[in-house]
Structure 1
Amino acid sequence: MNTDPIADFLTRIRNANAAKHRVVEIPASKVKKEITKILFDQGYILSYKFEDTTAQGSIKIALKYNKFTKEPVIQELQRISKPGLRKYAGSSEIPRILNGLGIAIVSTSHGVMTGKQAKRDNVGGEVLCYVY
């Protein structure tokens, strides 16, 4: 039984990057789908596809690598808010990651969004993870 599905999602991507896989398949949920859309919109993954072959469904993510150095685009995926210790931030307290080079993914009352969007919309929420 998996007690933290978001941490499992991030770990599967991290492990696939380390093993230089092209595609990783992950069990789906609404929050995972939203995080995947954000990763695609921000240019961290090549593409994604939602499949409903099982009751839960799955997400297939095509990972993105640098053409020349063959290094993964995602250097670090860091889980911040955990089930045992939730981390919340107001709109003015949402951190900048690597001076704006990375993103914070925040779950707000307006949905899952990046830290920049949350600051712009003046909403705070639970800081799920950092990506850079």
Structure 2
Amino acid sequence: MTTDIIADMLTRIRNANLVRHRLVQVIKTNLTISVTQILKEEGYIADYEEIELSKKSYLLLSLKYYNQKRQPIITGLKRVSKPGLRIYVNKNNLPIVINNLGIAILSTSKGILTNNKAKKLGVGGEVLCYIW
């Protein structure tokens, strides 16, 4: 069992993108469900579904690609706040990822949000990752 679920999820997505897989399986937790919903809302993945294999629950993510050459929509993923070093921002210092071409996912008091939604709600929190 991994202790950093988000890092595990990002690594699985990154590896699947590199070899152009259409599906990737990640461990199902409340945190990974929230991050997956954000990825779907923002258009980084096509869809996801919950599956259960040998009494363990997983999420099956469908990755999106541009064209016949299968250029991935997700070009980069970066884990920011780690278990050994937590990174927090307030509402005035929310991160901007590649001139707003990417998103930052934050864990706030209002739930898991993107940097744009956190700015609208006027909240800060822990920066989980950057996706572009």
Q: TM-score, normalised by structure 2?
A: 0.95
Q: What does residue 19 of structure 1 align with?
A: 19
In the TM superposition, structure 1's runs of 4+ consecutive aligned residues that sit over 3 Å from their partners are 52-56
Q: CA deviation at 1:28?
A: 0.5
Asked whether 1:65 is paired with 2:65, we answer: yes
Report the secondary structure of 1:50's partner residue: strand
Q: Percent identity?
A: 45
Q: Is the 8 A contact 1:35 1:112 kept in 2?
A: yes
Matching of residues 1-132 of structure 1 within 5 Å: 1-53=1-53, 55-132=55-132
Q: CA deviation at 1:18?
A: 0.4
* 1:50-82 alpha-carbon deviations (Å, 9 max, x no partner): 224554411000000011542100000100000
Q: CA deviation at 1:3?
A: 2.0
Report the secondary structure of 1:67's partner residue: coil
For structure 1, which runs of at least 5 residues remain unmatched after alignment?
Answer: none
Aligned mates of 1:67, 1:32 — CA distance in 2: 28
